[in-house]
A = this chain, B = another copy of it.
């Protein structure tokens, strides 16, 4: 289809603003010499353009989306409606406190509820995404050690199964990353951890359930080893959906947690954002939190910066409307719904895993939490069928593929996370399709490399894209 720049002509477009009712001000030498080059397209053509783009996009509403580690659960429509209320969208972030009590109530109550779920004592909503939360968490670790004059702690221990953002965040926070190899079960190797943890250790970053979808039974030992070495334990909340209401990072010995509200707490992803990655911590670390937090003060709230705050990681109070949607979700589920969602996420994952058994090889053959990893390693060797082949073939069936090639510790990995909002029938249909794809590919391996056949475009040349990057439309010369 055409790019927006290939539509319309000079002079087209709509006039949306009135003429100015006061005298013009002259920008003088600051004036730009020629107009910005922007689309000149009528509203009807624009509306068709975006309608066509929407038809070429695939959301949760278009089908099953078992993208591992991304928790593509259904986002209730009511939350979108609430987040578009002008009582929230029309509020300037720098209004007087008395006029924003509703916003502060949302932040404060959401904080309380998420602290209860994570076992933390306070929380800042300023981070806008998971990686942003990680960075924030690491700055808290830094501030903590610094406050104790314990500045030789320059190392963060990160398992090799971790999300790629973990080491990157640690590096951004100025830390040296100690890579911790996983044991054969994908879990932390306690001996290796004991060896790694020492007086240089600032902390450990871990998610539990881990990135292969297993709960590390030794979690209390792990956090104890770190604490004994004087470090802090950071919980990557990307995998919280399996355990909310069942177990709490705080009770596992973690000191800091970030959550992905756009995963576990159902706020939609918007094609990559906006998300929200609040960071919670134990009371001993609260004074370092970034931003301004709503403090109850009689019957109202006032905004206060924590006394030893690390500062700000974003302007204002985070992605407020995203927090609002998560708050609404928490109200909807409540104390019964939260663990019920977790249980069903785990049930759906195990059920789906059982349906794939006999066709696909599970990377770890034991019950999983909210997601599981299958490996095409054998297939790749014997018949050349890769994880990507299976993924691309699924596209023709209206199913979003699982996460491919992650975690790195599993070869030819496909990571499947059905989430609790999928009905049984969807799981059964998807498993049937996957099994069929594999069967057919095994019979005739050559065909699968050509798939997908029915998508708006077929397999794209990513190498060429990176080698000679075209990242901006070039208007034809006139």
A residues neighboring B (CB under 8 Å): 7-9, 12, 42-45, 47-48, 51-52, 55, 59-63, 74, 76-77, 421-423, 425-426
Known: A421-B42, A422-B44, A423-B45. A61 touches B55 (CB 8 A): no
Q: Closest B residue to A12 by CB, please name it.
A: B423
Q: Closest B residue to A76 by CB, please name it.
A: B43
The reply to whether A62 and B76 contact each other, CB–CB distance below 8 Å, is no
Q: Closest B residue to A52 by CB, please name it.
A: B62
The reply to whether A423 and B42 contact each other, CB–CB distance below 8 Å, is yes
CA distance A44 to B59 in the complex (A): 12
Residues of B within 8 Å of A47, CB to CB, are: 61, 74, 77
Residues of B within 8 Å of A60, CB to CB, are: 44
Query: Looking at the complex, which one of B9, B45, B55, B422 makes contact with A55 (CB distance below 8 Å)?
Result: B55
Whole-angstrom distance between the Cβ of A33 and the nearest chain B Cβ:
30
CA distance A426 to B60 in the complex (A): 33
Whole-angstrom distance between the Cβ of A195 and the nearest chain B Cβ:
47
The reply to whether A48 and B77 contact each other, CB–CB distance below 8 Å, is no
CA distance A8 to B423 in the complex (A): 8
CA distance A154 to B44 in the complex (A): 47
The reply to whether A63 and B45 contact each other, CB–CB distance below 8 Å, is no
Known: A51-B62, A55-B55. A44 touches B12 (CB 8 A): no
CA distance A19 to B280 in the complex (A): 35
The reply to whether B63 and A48 contact each other, CB–CB distance below 8 Å, is yes
Residues of B within 8 Å of A62, CB to CB, are: 48, 51-52
The reply to whether A44 and B421 contact each other, CB–CB distance below 8 Å, is yes
Q: List 24 A-B contacts (CB under 8 A).
A: A7-B425, A8-B423, A9-B423, A9-B425, A42-B421, A42-B423, A43-B74, A43-B76, A43-B77, A44-B60, A44-B74, A44-B422, A44-B423, A45-B423, A45-B426, A47-B61, A47-B74, A47-B77, A48-B61, A48-B63, A51-B59, A51-B62, A52-B62, A55-B55
Residues of B within 8 Å of A61, CB to CB, are: 47-48, 51
Residues of B within 8 Å of A422, CB to CB, are: 44
With a 10 A CB-CB cut-off, give which of A7, A51, A61, A426 has the most chain B CB atoms. Answer: A61
CA distance A62 to B48 in the complex (A): 6
